[in-house]
C-alpha cells in the first residue's frame, strides 16, 4: 500500500506532462488550419518532397552529430577511467550543461562570427576572414559540443562497471590491447553507448534553435518546420502532424538502441 502511495506522484507527472500532451498533439494533427477535421495533414506530409527532404535532413544531421559525438566521447570516457582524479575531470566535462543553451549558442556566435575571435586570428596570420557561422560545419560543431557530456556520462559509467578481471584474463590468454578492446571492452560497454546514442540522437532530431542561431536557417530540419507552423503560419494541425512523426521516429530509435539485459 505504501509503495502505491509513493507511486502516485510519478503517475501524475507522467499523465500530466507526457500522456496528455502527446494525446493533445495527436488529436490536433487531424485538424486543418480552419479547424476542420481532416486526414490531409498526414497525406501532405508523406507525399510532399519538401517534408520528406526535411525528414532526411533531420535524420542525416542527427546521425552525423551522434557519430561525431561518439568518436570524441568514447576515447574521452575511456581515458577518464584511467585518471586518478576522474570524478573531478568528469565534473568539468559535465559543467557546461549547467549553462543555458541559449547563452552557449550566443557565445559561439561571437566566436564564429565575421568579427569573432577565430576570424580575428585567421586575419592575424594572413589567411583573412572566412565564413564560419551559418554553415553546416558550424552547426554540427556546436551541436556536437553541446551533446558531448550526454554521451560521455553513460559510457564512462559503463566502462567504470567493467570487471577488471575480465580484461586481465584477456591479456593472460595472449590477447593484444586491440583484441582486448574489440572482444572484451567494447562489447561490455555497449549498453553505455546505446544510452549515449539515445541521449544525443533523439534530441538532435528535433533541434530548431541552433538551426536558426548557428545554421542561419540554412540548416532546415523537422524541428524548424514545427516551430514555423506553430509560431508563424499558425497551422497547428500540420505542426502537430510533424511532431507526431518525430515522436514515432524517436520511439523507433529507442527500440533499436534499447539496452539489452544481460549484455
pLDDT at 260: 63
CA 209 to each of CA 111, 123, 224, 227: distance values in angstroms, whole numbers, following the listed order: 17, 29, 8, 9
Kindly indicate the confidence band of residue 221, based on its pLDDT and cuts at 50, 70 and 90.
confident
Q: Is the pLDDT of residue 67 over 90?
A: yes
* Residue 38 included in any domain: no
How many domains, in total, are found in the chain?
A: 1
* Residue 209 included in any domain: yes
Average pLDDT over residues 20-33: 94
Domain span at 223:
49-256
* Residue 193 included in any domain: yes
* Residue 64 included in any domain: yes
* Residue 58 included in any domain: yes
pLDDT at 40: 93
Q: Is the pLDDT of residue 122 over 70?
A: yes
CATH number at residue 146: 1.10.3720.10
* Residue 184 included in any domain: yes
Q: Is the pLDDT of residue 212 over 90?
A: no
Of 213, 232, 211, nearest in space to 223 by CA = 211
Kindly indicate the confidence band of residue 115, based on its pLDDT and cuts at 50, 70 and 90.
confident
pLDDT at 218: 77
* Residue 97 included in any domain: yes
Average pLDDT over residues 238-259: 90
CB-CB contact of 207 with 146 (8 Å):
no
* Residue 16 included in any domain: no
Kindly indicate the confidence band of residue 1, based on its pLDDT and cuts at 50, 70 and 90.
low
The most confident of the ranges 119-123, 140-144, 251-255 is 140-144
Average pLDDT over residues 67-72: 97
Residues of the chain above pLDDT 90, percent: 62
Amino acid at each position: 500500500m505504501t509503495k502505491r502511495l509513493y507511486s502516485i506522484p510519478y503517475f501524475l507527472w507522467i499523465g500530466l506532462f507526457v500522456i496528455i500532451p502527446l494525446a493533445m498533439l495527436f488529436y490536433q494533427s487531424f485538424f486543418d488550419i480552419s479547424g476542420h477535421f481532416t486526414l490531409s495533414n498526414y497525406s501532405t506530409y508523406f507525399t510532399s518532397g519538401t517534408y520528406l527532404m526535411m525528414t532526411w535532413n533531420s535524420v542525416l544531421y542527427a546521425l552525423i552529430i551522434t557519430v561525431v559525438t561518439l568518436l570524441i566521447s568514447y576515447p574521452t570516457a575511456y581515458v577518464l577511467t584511467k585518471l586518478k582524479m576522474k570524478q573531478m575531470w568528469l565534473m568539468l566535462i559535465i559543467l557546461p550543461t549547467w549553462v543555458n543553451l541559449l547563452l552557449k549558442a550566443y557565445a559561439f556566435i561571437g566566436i564564429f562570427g565575421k568579427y569573432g575571435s577565430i576570424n580575428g586570428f585567421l586575419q592575424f596570420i594572413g589567411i583573412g576572414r572566412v565564413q564560419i557561422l551559418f554553415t553546416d560545419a558550424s552547426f554540427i560543431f556546436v551541436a556536437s559540443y553541446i551533446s558531448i557530456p550526454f554521451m560521455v556520462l553513460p559510457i564512462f559509467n559503463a566502462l567504470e562497471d567493467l570487471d577488471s578481471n575480465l580484461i586481465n584474463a584477456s591479456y593472460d590468454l595472449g590477447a593484444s590491447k586491440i583484441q582486448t578492446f574489440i572482444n572484451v571492452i567494447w562489447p561490455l560497454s555497449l549498453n553505455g553507448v546505446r544510452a549515449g546514442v539515445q541521449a544525443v540522437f533523439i534530441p538532435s532530431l528535433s533541434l530548431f534553435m541552433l538551426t536558426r542561431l548557428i545554421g542561419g536557417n540554412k540548416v532546415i530540419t523537422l524541428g524548424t518546420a514545427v516551430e514555423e507552423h506553430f509560431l508563424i503560419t499558425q497551422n497547428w494541425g500540420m505542426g502537430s502532424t510533424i511532431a507526431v512523426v518525430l515522436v514515432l521516429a524517436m520511439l523507433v530509435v529507442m527500440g533499436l538502441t534499447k539496452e539489452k539485459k544481460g549484455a
